[in-house]
Structure 1
């Protein structure tokens, strides 16, 4: 499965209770850039690059999949250089909590 196909599962795994009051754009820069828009309790995925994302995660495809599935610790990935974050670091830290990892395949 491509990283873009994996990220297209995010709306199904989205947990609106975890993102109450959050309106943001999350950019995932991998081999296939994709961004997620979280607004009004819903999540949508768009291929490409967002005009002005709140936070951008830059990672290798396999590392991003492992991060989103909970198989790779975000802080460890950041400290070892596997993850680069641009923009709102605090939002980046909250990102995993917005999605039910058990629903990501």
Structure 2
């Protein structure tokens, strides 16, 4: 299993269903140096799916290093966005919910 696949698997295990109450969304992660993966959140469940979604709510575009740093807490997601390391398309306000949906231990 690749480090990125393991990262997405860890996100699924960290998923905070209470934070997802009332939220139906698709977060798409487009890695400039890798594959695209999307996470479907509905009915307080979380499903990680390889590949692109037809109609993601928000797409986050970055390289795999940036994804790993943000998801492990080494790099603040908002700071990465402000410095251009992450580009977003769609409902970018939704991206601010990622920390609550997938809290670090």
Superposition deviation, residue 51 in structure 1: 0.6
Secondary structure of residue in 2 paired with 1:26: strand
Show the counterpart of 1:6: 7
Secondary structure of residue in 2 paired with 1:44: strand
Match of 1:60 among 47, 50, 63: 63
Instruction: Detail structure 1 runs of 4+ shifted over 6 Å in the superposition.
Output: none
Superposition deviation, residue 74 in structure 1: 1.4
Q: Is residue 77 of structure 2 the alignment partner of residue 70 of structure 1?
A: no
Superposition deviation, residue 81 in structure 1: 0.9
Superposition deviation, residue 10 in structure 1: 1.8
Q: Over residues 70-91 of structure 1, what are the superposed CA-to-partner deviations in whole Å (9 max), with x where a residue is unaligned?
A: 2211121011110001010110
The alignment covers a number of residue pairs equal to 102
CA distance in 2, matches of 1:29, 1:2: 15
TM-score (norm 2): 0.90
Unaligned runs of 5+ in 2: none
Unaligned runs of 5+ in 1: none
CA distance in 2, matches of 1:71, 1:34: 21
